Amino acid sequence: MWSPMRSCTTSKAVATAALFALIPLSTAPQYGTAPPKPGSQCGRQSGDLTYSYKIAVVEQLEPPNWKRSLVRISIGTATKLDLWTDGHTFKLWTSKKTLKEIDEFLLNLDKSCRLPAEPGDAAALLPVKWESADLTSAQFAQIHQDFLHALSQYVASAQERFDLMMQKKIQIVLLDATVLRIFYDNSYEQIQVDVFHDPDPEPKEHKPLVEWIRSIEKMAEDRFHHPIWGSKALKPKK
């Protein structure tokens, strides 16, 4: 699975690797240039082309009515938890696709010269099974409030980290940390954040967002009656 993922490298490299980590996540911001378009290399694409194209495809996997919603929050990439509301309906969605399944699907399209030039068109062809659960307006409002409260604590730590890095003149190194990705969009503010979760010890500035993700995962497992990410990566160390 792509979400969450493990990392054993510096923070700079982790941020790059996190393109396949948690969270959607989804749309903007875009990374790098647009992926090369299939055409003359049909059936003979390089690994770099497949990787770039795959990222763009995954970013556009969306539950029904995603773009028509007023507020949307996405956690994950291939295996996702998505929340959206149009002001009348409040929904929790999940889907489950593995890296291997998406690899094989895109490769088959490529070999048969049916791979669309636009990643969004390829994403629309992927057979994705979505499950949904209804939420109340009060539940969604509480989820939204809890997320922004946790996010504010996470962002506030940036100045403290800046001061430390300027003082020590060192780059922060993350060893065996789980990358958690979240994407938020209300058509005005668009927020994307990668949270590095290391349970030994749990970074205090990351803990609120990690606990928020755990709560959404637990709610989804209760509603859908199956594991979401099927790992212990988000579990606190005992």
Is 134:90 a contact under the CB 8 Å cutoff? yes
Structure tokens at 139: 């539940």
pLDDT bracket for residue 188 (50, 70, 90) = very high
In 3D space, the residue among 145, 129, 121, 124 whose CA is nearest the CA of residue 93 turns out to be: 129
- The amino acid sitting at 232 is K
pLDDT: is 96 or 25 the higher one? 96
pTM assigned to the model: 0.73
Instruction: Find the Cα–Cα–Cα–Cα dihedral 186, 189, 190, 195, rounded to 10°.
Output: -110
Q: Six-digit token pair at 27?
A: 């749309």
Residue 202 pLDDT: 55
| Any domain includes 235 | no
Band of pLDDT at residue 234, cut at 50, 70 and 90: low
User: What's the first-to-final CA gap in the chain, in angstroms?
Assistant: 24
**Residue 43 forms part of a structural domain:** yes
Hey, CA dihedral for 20, 82, 212, 32, is it positive or negative?
A: positive
- The answer to whether position 117 is within a domain reads yes
Cβ-based neighbours of 126, under 8 Å, separated by 6 or more? 57, 61, 97, 102, 105
Per-residue confidence (pLDDT) for residue 50, from 0 to 100: 67
Nearest-angstrom CA–CA distance, 216 and 220: 6
pLDDT given at position 87: 96
What is the radius of gyration, based on Cα positions, of the chain? 18
| Domain with 33 in it | 5-224
Q: Per-residue pLDDT tens for 165-186? A: 898 887 777 666 677 789 999 9
The pLDDT tens digits for 40-49 are 456 545 444 5
Per-residue confidence (pLDDT) for residue 69, from 0 to 100: 95
DSSP string, 58-93: HHT---TTSTT-SEEEEEESSEEEEEEE-SS-EEEE
In 3-state terms, what secondary structure has residue 190? strand
| Res 22 pLDDT > 80 | no
29 part of a folded domain: yes
Q: What is the pLDDT of residue 231?
A: 56
Q: Does some domain include residue 80?
A: yes
Q: Which of 88-92, 127-131, 201-205, 226-230 is modeled with the greatest confidence?
A: 88-92
> Quick one: pLDDT band at residue 145, thresholds 50, 70, 90?
very high
Per the prediction, the chain carries an average pLDDT of 76
The whole-number average pLDDT for the span 45-64 is: 74
Q: How many folded domains does the chain comprise?
A: 1
Task: Give the pLDDT confidence of 1-13 residue by residue, as tens digits.
Answer: 334 444 433 333 3
Domain presence at residue 236: no
Please give the pLDDT value at position 238: 47
Residue 237 belongs to some domain of the structure: no
In-domain check, residue 38: yes
